[in-house]
Amino acid sequence: MAMSNRVATAPGGDQLVSLNGAGIRRDGRWLVRGVDLSIIRGEVVTLIGPNGAGKSTTAKMAVGVLKADEGSVVRKNGLRIGYVPQKLSIDWTMPLSVRRLMRLTSPLDNKDILSALEATGIPHLIDAEVRHLSGGEFQRALLARAIARKPDLLVLDEPVQGVDFAGEAALYALIREIRHSTGCGILMISHDLHMVMAGTDTVICLNGHVCCRGTPETVSQSADYAKLFGGASQQLAVYSHHHDHTHLPDGRVQHKDGSVTDHCHPDDGHHHDHNGHAHSHGEDHHHDHDHHHDHPHEHAGHHHHADAHEKTGVNSRA
Residue ranges binding ligand ATP (CB under 6 A): 26-27, 31, 49, 51-57, 86
Per-residue b/e over 101-128, b at no fewer than 16 CB within 10 Å?
bbbebeebeeebbbebbebbbbeebbeb
Least Å distance between CB 235 and ligand ATP? 19
Instruction: For residue 42, give the nearest of 175, 135, 238, 211 by alpha carbon.
Output: 175
CA 243 vs. chain centroid, Å, equals: 19
Least Å distance between CB 32 and ligand ATP? 6
Helix (H) or strand (E) holding 224: helix 223-229
Least Å distance between CB 60 and ligand ATP? 8
Determine the angle formed by the axes of helices 304-311 and 135-148, rounding to 10 degrees: 40
Helix (H) or strand (E) holding 112: helix 110-119
Least Å distance between CB 102 and ligand ATP? 25
Taking CA atoms, 221 is separated from 189, 209, 232, in Å, by 20, 19, 12
Least Å distance between CB 66 and ligand ATP? 8
Q: Would you say 125 or 203 has its CB closer to ligand ATP? A: 203
**What is the greatest pairwise CA distance in the chain?**
59
Q: Would you say 85 or 296 has its CB closer to ligand ATP? A: 85
Q: Would you say 22 or 119 has its CB closer to ligand ATP? A: 22
Q: Would you say 49 or 167 has its CB closer to ligand ATP? A: 49
Q: Would you say 86 or 106 has its CB closer to ligand ATP? A: 86
